[in-house]
Every structure is written in C-alpha cells, then in structure tokens.
Structure 1
Amino acid sequence: MQYDFDTIVPRRGTNSYKWDTPEEEGTLPMWVADMDFRTAPAIVEALRKRVEHGVFGYTKVPEAYYDAVVRWFEGRHRWRIDPRWMIYTSGVVPALSAIIKALTEPGDKVIVQTPAYNCFYSSIRNDGCELSANNLVYRDGRYTIDFDDLEAKAADPKAKLLLLCNPHNPVGRVWTPEELRRVGDICLRHGVTVVADEIHCELTYEGHDYTPFASLSESFRQHSVTCVSPSKAFNLAGLQIANIVAADEEVRRRIDRAININEVCDVNPFGVIATIAAYNESGAWLDALRKYLRENYEYLCRFFAEKLPQYPVLPLEGTYLVWIDCRACGIGSEELASRLQKRERLMVNPGTMYGPGGEGFIRMNIACPRTLLADGLERMARVLP
C-alpha cells in the first residue's frame, strides 16, 4: 500500500501549538516535535468509529490495550514486557515527573546526559532535585558518552537517578548495546536507577537499531524504569497517552502512588483506541514513514553540502530532529533563532534550551512534506552567513 506523506495538511487555525503559536502570517514552524503528516489510516478509521458512538465517558483500559503493547515490543524489539509491569498515564513528561517524585527526595541529584530534552530540567526542578550534568562529548562531528565523568557523577551519594534518552533528543544518537551496557554497569555499581525515556524508539534508521535498555539483562530490568508512547512515531501527541514499564514491584508501587498524587492516572478513550490501532495495524505505515523521513534527512544534507557547507549537520541515527552545528556563524543560538524568525519567519529551536553543550547549535524538525522542508531550508540559507 502506498502512503501519502507529500500532501500538505493545513494546520493553522486548528489550535495547533506548533502552528498557531506564531502569530505572524506565513511563519513556517520547524520547532515543536510533532509531525505535519496525517497519522496511519487504521488509526484514523478506529477513531472515526469511536467518534460515531458519540458517548465519551470515563475510560476503562481493556486487556486489548496491554496485549497490543506487549505484542508490539516483543515482535519489533525482542523485548517481552509483562503487562503487570505497565502503568498507563497521560504522557511521558508527566511520567518522568511522577517517577522522579517517587524515587527521590528533595535535594537528591538526577544525572542527565546533556544537551538533552528541555523538559528533563523542569521535571527535576519541579520535584526539588538537582541537575547533575554528564556532558556528552562532541568530537569529529559525533556525540559519545563521557563514561569517566558518568562514573564520577554516579559515585556521588546524592545521585539517585539517570535520565537516559534513547534515542537521544536532540543529538540524534541511538545508543548501541555496548554503550547501554557500560551505562547500566556504572549505574548498578553505584545504586543509581536508570530512567529510560524511549519515546522516539520507533524512529530509527538503517544500521541503528533501537535496543530497549531493560531488555539487556535481568539486573538492568530490575533497576530501571522505561517510558514509551506511540505519540512520536504515529503523531498522536495530542491524544495524551504513554506507558511506564517497571519490573520491580516496590518501585512500581511507589510510581503508581506518585501518578495518583500528580492526578495523571486517567487517560482518554481516543488515546487508548489509537494505541491499539497503531500497534496492531499500522506497522507498514510506520515503515513507510521512516523511509520518507530518512529521505528528508538526505535532502537536507545535500542542501547543506551545496549551499551551507560551513555548518555541519550531525548524523541522524534516530528521531526526526536534526541537530545542526552553527558555531561558524559567530552568533549565539538564541540570536540565530531570533533572526531566522524575524527575517524569514522560520521557527527552529535554539540549542541553549537543551542545557549545557547546546550553545552554537539549532534543532530542526524535518517531519513534514518535502516541499515544506525545501522552503524552510531556503529561508535558512538566506539568513545564515
């Protein structure tokens, strides 16, 4: 079956956070991490049938939901999840906040491999904890983990959690099994629990397979918590659905309590229906999407090579968020993002919002029809010196 990723779906005027936040007409938003594609046809059809029912009361999550999640991760990623390990909630960010609340005390330290997803920082701060930055090493156009520094940070008695972003947002790495094992071994030695944000796990490209951290060993499974959601891969962020996977019963009990304290223990019927349709019926659509996204990335790389060769584009192993080294332009990330918006009405994310190590970089969302991508790149070229 052929899937259409080229048609431009007008989103302005739909209360889209991505498109309706910029007030100036003609603004092209390539910032917020949602896609400008319609979701998989099977999901649309499942939601249509649910809408036609016309009654949208409180939702009981059925066994079919758990079955769909379990089958998907076992079939796609060779990770057998016991449904008893799962806690559903309204999103990965609320999940992270509840996990931090459950597994730390105010004043504890949470390790983050920076630059990293900006909501990590607010979740840490809101739960009264302290950031411990394990800065990624940027060398020869690629990011790696500083394991010596991670060992030192994990050895701090106040360090309780590591927020592991796999695949990594914003630098685009998909951590290898060897890298994950080294991370896990360090954390086990020092009693640090790994909290794996694996929301982008479906969006990886040839030669860079996603490995669930918890799948690598029984010890890792018992000393970690994993957050997953169909929202990124199937463009369902507005339906507010995610899953926490925690094999340890006591850890799960504490997280469940925090979920209830934070009042994010209920989900809506559309999120449940969409998850089932995504995992049961939409694998072929996802495979076509990944191919299209990879071709978008290759188009961007050719454009930069021809017109902006002084600005390195980082390898994209996973996600649809391209990390671009703009230090050669000689201005800070926030000023560059501001100029792009003011002069060309192009919105991208400044690297500084992702914490230490982000200065001099920008993040660009390429999950859009190729004509929009081409438009955005031309706008960028007219601003970058």
Structure 2
Amino acid sequence: MATTRTLAAAICAVVALGAVTGCSSSGGFSDSPATQASGEGQSLNVLIATSGDAETAAVKAATADWAKQTGNTVTVQIASDINQQLGQAFAGGNPPDLFYVNSDQFANYAKGGSLYAYGDQIPDASDFSEQLRKAFSYDGKLTCLPKDSSTLALAINTTLWQQAGLTEADYPTSWQQLSDDAAKLTKDGTTGLVVAPDYQRLGALMKQAGGWITNPEQTTMTADSPANKQALEYVQSMMKAGSAKYVAEVDAGWGGEALGKGKAAMTIEGNWLKGAMAADYPDLSYKVLPLPAGPAGQGTLAFSNCWGIAAKSQHQAAGVDLVKHLTSANQQMNFADAFGVMPSRTSALATYAEKYPQSKAWVDGVAHSQAPVTIPGFNQVLTQFNTDLQSLKTGDPATILASLQRNGEQALKNAK
C-alpha cells in the first residue's frame, strides 16, 4: 500500500544526493555490463519494503529455502525508504541484486537502464495477471514479474450496518445504492463512507464511470473526460451531503483505521485490509463486498510490486532462478498464508479463492481491474493529482482534471 520524481535523470540528480557519478551523460544510469558469476557459492543481496514482521519472516524463509537448495547465500535487507535507497544504489553503481519495484517507479528505473529484463526467461509467464504483466513491461518486454496482486473492494462494518436497519438485501450494487446506504449510515459520530484522498481509491470510480487517466496504450491522456468528471462529481456530492469524508476528517490514518474505530461504516480498501484488521481490530465484525458498479459497469484498480533484478548485478542468472522460486504457485500461497497478499499467478489465485472465500470480492475484482499508469516521470503527475483531490469537496472537478490532463501531457512528451 502499500507507492524519482520526473525521469531517470531526476533520480540521479535529486534522490541520489551526492552520488551522481553513476549517471551517464544521456540522463540514465551507467549500463556497462557486469561480469556474471556462475555455479554455487554465490552471495545475493535482496532489498524489500516490508509490510511488517510477517512479510519479513516469510521472505527470509523463502530465500533461505532457495539458498539451501542451490548452495548459494541470500541476505535480505529491509528498506526504510526503498525508492530513495534504490535511487542512491543505482546512481552509486552498487545496487542490490534483487529488490521490490513499485509500479509508480518501474518506468523510471526501466528507462534509466537500471533493470535487467528477464521476462523472456519465464516459460509460463502467461500464468501471471495480464494487467500486471502489462504494468511491468517496458518497450514491449516483460521486464520483471509481479510478486503478488491486490484490488479494491468495499468493506462494511456489519454491526453498524444492522444498527442502521440495513440487511443483506441493501448491499450496494450501484452508485445510487451506495449513496443511499451511506446517508442512512451517517449518524452518531459515524460517517457512511470514508476513503483516502487519492487516485488509488477514487480512481476506481473513474473506471466505473467509463474513464481513466490515459488510453489503454498509455500514449494519450484521457483525464479531462466527461466520465472522469462524472465520477468526481459523484464523490463530491456525497461529501457535500456529509455522507462521505476523507480519512483525515475523521481523525484516521487510512480507511482500515476508520472502519476499525467505528468512524466509518464503509470504506474502500485493498486486500491488505484483512491482515490489518486481524492484527489491530480482531473483534470487528465486517464484510467485504464488490465495489458497486458505475454508469459503465464494474471497475476496480490493480496493485503490485515486481521483483526487479539489477542490470549491474553479477548474479543475474541466479537472480532469475530465485525469482522463479519466489513466484512459484506454492510459494505465492505461502506468502498469502503468511501475510495476506493475493497471488499474481492466475492458477494460484484460484487456489487462494477456494481457501479464502471471505476474500472473494477482491479476487473477483482482478477480472475487471485497471492496471496502474507506468510512464516515466508520471509519479510526479500522480502526486499532484492526489494533492488536488484533497480539495475535492469545495473544488471544481473539471479544474482538477484539467490540471491532471495538462501535467500528464507534459510527462508524455518528456517520456519520448
């Protein structure tokens, strides 16, 4: 939830602080080929941004298992700020061999020549979610494998639901039903719907309205469309009615906290909610439902990180073998059991759905999910969009989207 500012050159100049000597004159990173190691006894470094102790332990166990099988060794390091640390490592010419790559940074690293593209070495790559394979492809090449998958769904506090006189027949399947339910649930210090003020949540409604930020090929901006305006106006109308609020307005850090504390009767969150509720609010009675359909039908967002391998790593073959182990169906299920993520393999996702029926809404969402925008330098555009969304209640949706359109068009020009 778990997400370089402009281009690879900006990573070198800004994130890497003083270590800019690793940058090439073309604005990317030095891509001189590394001498490759082979055989047993290799030592690989892995850098991850963990969601907590459970994920840390699971990754360490999985890499240790691979090391035992192959005769190699693996050191897992936990990043405090993985984007900054990777930027510094790339610029300094000494990156980890294997690492998590956020979708919003992927294109920056790929354009900068920092990633070793190994997708063509994965014979069963088609088993991975199509949306995520597309998200982690650059110049038509699958560059790195998605390590897991997440989608958004609607979580409701069933106790508050019943207290409002609502039943299963009232579960919202349309925008109108969602706003009606939110109005009935807003009382006694509880807000019907509480969400984070960002496109990673509200973008799902843009998809449901038939819109999105770019065209499917990510070559043209489509932000200032009537569909996107309709989606933001819908959210705005609920905010003005008092039946929807942002998390900060109810003194919560995210939707799960608002739901757990009874500040929200409903929230829009991903499958990371399951582990957080079990850890922080084990007595909460809640249910996860599909996001209600909008004017254009159902829609949700897809999220993931990928397993990146450094272009300068001396252990690329071993790294690919380790990725194959970490993304195998069995290992993805081990990760799902350990810390709640969903598999990125469609075969393993089917197993997950059978084992965790309470997660059905998140699993079913994969089929109609929207992959993230992965354009070099676009993370800065999305950061500004999130800033603009914070003023949605009193702002002008058309103006917010016009700014996104303008900034996105500039990023597309720079990315060419």
TM over 0.5: no
Compare CA radii of gyration and give the structure with the larger one.
2
Q: Normalising by structure 2, report the TM-score.
A: 0.28
